[in-house]
Amino acid sequence: MCIINSFKPLDNPIAADLKPSNILISETGQIKIGDFGSAVELKQKQENESGQFSVEGFSRWYKSPEMMFGSRDYDFSVDIWSFACIFAELLQGYPLFPGSTEIDQMARIGQVIGSATKENWSTIDCLPDYGKIIFNYSKPPDLKEIFPLADESQIKFLQLCLRYQNRLSAQELLESDYFLKDEPELNLKQKKVKLNERQKDEPFFDYIKFVDQICREKNEQQ
């Protein structure tokens, strides 16, 4: 919720490169967004003669499909996509779209939400890089199979963000059932993360231990 609020106001910049390593958590549980080196403001589009933003230098795993297809006319919805990727990572314990190349990235996205078509992305043929690569058609699977530990509200919330177009705005997400009901649980302690050989280094940060410590300190203060 803190992440969504960070880019909710219209005066705030488009982070454009939102990812886990740019999310800072204090000892008291306060969350802030860091590294705005790629951020842009909507007013820059008006001041820029071309009216376009850059699509270079962003983290591929959290990059929105429109940016992958070369769009330079993006808005806050690219941050919603990145937020959805981070939320999905919390649900399953590892990155959702760890593409090795941009082509591989789009193929992985298609395997989760279905291939991009005119039916689910009406403006796709207007994008600069549309049609350069022909992908095999992938039918969207049941997300419950991908996120077996997620409950129905978490799946529905993810579907509001993880789509090619018409993603909900930050304000609309804050007003969704996911935030209006009791505080949601992510069941982090139930996660069984499978690591490949490159990932089997000693962890430098024990998130579960950190959360437990914050909860204990808050209980002691009450």
State phi, psi for 14 to the nearest 5 degrees. -80, 120
Contact between 39 and 26 (Cβ < 8 Å)? no
Set 11, 17, 177, 206: catalytic member: 17
Residue 188 C-alpha from the chain's centroid: 18
Q: SS3 of 212, please? A: helix
Secondary element (H or E) of residue 25: strand 23-25
Using CB atoms within 10 A of its CB, is residue 172 exposed (0-12), middle (13-18) or buried (19+)?
exposed
84 CA to centre of own chain: 3
What is the end-to-end Cα distance of the chain in Å, rounded?
Answer: 23
Looking up tokens 């007013």 gives: 43
**Is 177 designated active site?**
no
What are the tokens at 79? 């941050």
Sign of the C-alpha dihedral, residues 165, 171, 177, 178? positive
Question: What is the 3 state secondary structure string of 93-132?
Answer: CCCCCCCCCHHHHHHHHHHHHCCCCCCCCCCHHHCCCCCC
Amino acid letter for position 16 = A
Residues labelled as active-site residues: 17
